[in-house]
Amino acid sequence: MFDILLYLYDTYLLTDQIPDAEHLSRKLTAAGFEMGDITEALDWLSGLDDLQAQEESADTAEEASGAAVAQPSVRVYSEEEAHRIDIEGRGFLTFLESAQLLPPHGREWVIEQALALPDADVSAERIKWIALLALWKLKGVGDVLWLEDLVRGTEDGWRPTLH
């Protein structure tokens, strides 16, 4: 499933032109992906809409209160979360939140999606990709290109984007 998400990121997300689910399913089948994996990936991807709805709800609440109040917080991971999510991945989430790039509800969404993966242990690389997808949905394509360079920096043959 994660291979499909990476394929979708490379093929569609940077252009911000994602086809409807039926058309996308046909394209993924033609690209050689299994139908079960396609369904799982599309369900996972639809979770990005939930994240966007949470962001809009948070923005509305801030507007109604008249001021945005930044509340610093510390995330205490449960035993299962600490066991399954790599310490470097947890540190990366803390970095994104402390830099005010990822709001608390975005962090929680990333953690939830990471735990939904079938992997026994979720690597820092997977956390980075999930966070990249979350930030893409929350901030847009232009604001995540620098993060893509950070996430893909370890891939063979990857060349950073020249800004």
| Residue 123 contacts residue 75 (beta carbons within 8 Å) | no
Low-confidence ranges of the chain (pLDDT < 50): 158, 160, 162-163
What is the pLDDT at residue 138? Answer: 81
| Residue 112 contacts residue 85 (beta carbons within 8 Å) | no
Q: In the structure encoding, which two tokens stand for residue 50, read together?
A: 């939930």
What is the pLDDT at residue 4? Answer: 84
Q: In the structure encoding, which two tokens stand for residue 62, read together?
A: 């801030």
pTM of the model: 0.75
CA atoms within 13 Å, Cβ hemisphere of 152: 16
Give the 3-state secondary structure of residue 85: strand
Residues in the chain: 163
Cα 72 to chain centroid, rounded: 22
* 49-71: pLDDT as tens digits: 777 677 666 666 555 555 555 56
CA distance linking residue 147 with residue 143, whole number of Å: 8
What is the pLDDT at residue 111? Answer: 95
CA distance linking residue 111 with residue 94, whole number of Å: 12
